[in-house]
Amino acid sequence: MAGSLYRFLTLTAAILSILLLVSVAYPQENTKKNPDEKAHQRMLKREAANALYRFKLRLKKEGFYSGRVALNVWHSTAIDAGTFDQEQYNEFKRLLYEKSTNESLKCFEDFILQENYYDANVCLQTWRMHSKELGTYDQAEYEALKKTLTDARTAKASGAKTTEKAQD
């Protein structure tokens, strides 16, 4: 009887050892986790691609601020997905700021023609800040544009005074 008890304990210990080794060698959590991780990574890459598409769309069709938000969203999702490229980000940022400086100069000229000097000044300040960000700021050009604004204000004020005198 002692021999059969010894065999039973030995056999049980061997089976438990085998089960322990098998469970350590093939953890069940990792087999479930890998497909989930792969699906999650695919989803992150898809989100980054969608964010990039939305940024490019906003760069073409919309203004600076919505483009800047879209660029920041792409930046964040691309980092999460592991697909972020700093050179590409710098290029997109440069394109966004170039578009903004060009539109700000156009806006400045349009508001000068409309004699809306407050908004013309806002456009001029936007141009100045964004051109500084790009590294293309030229103080002489800024002073010339500011002088244009001041001259236009002065011309309008003197034109209004002349009109008032003519009416008297």
Residues 44-70 pLDDT 10s: 999 999 999 999 999 999 989 999 999
Indicate the burial class of 92 (C-beta count within 10 angstroms; 0-12, 13-18, 19 or more).
buried
Indicate the burial class of 153 (C-beta count within 10 angstroms; 0-12, 13-18, 19 or more).
middle
Domain boundaries along the sequence of the chain: 37-84, 97-159
pLDDT of 161 above 90: no
Residue 167: pLDDT band (50, 70, 90) is: low
Separation CA 141–CA 111 (nearest Å): 18
- Three-class SS of 95-128: HHHHHHHHHHHHHHHHHHHCCCHHHHHHHHHHHH
pTM higher than the cut 0.85: no
pLDDT (tens digit, 9 = 90+) per residue, 75-105?
A: 999 999 999 999 999 999 999 999 999 999 9
Least confident of 27-36, 95-104, 153-162: 27-36
pLDDT of 32 above 60: no
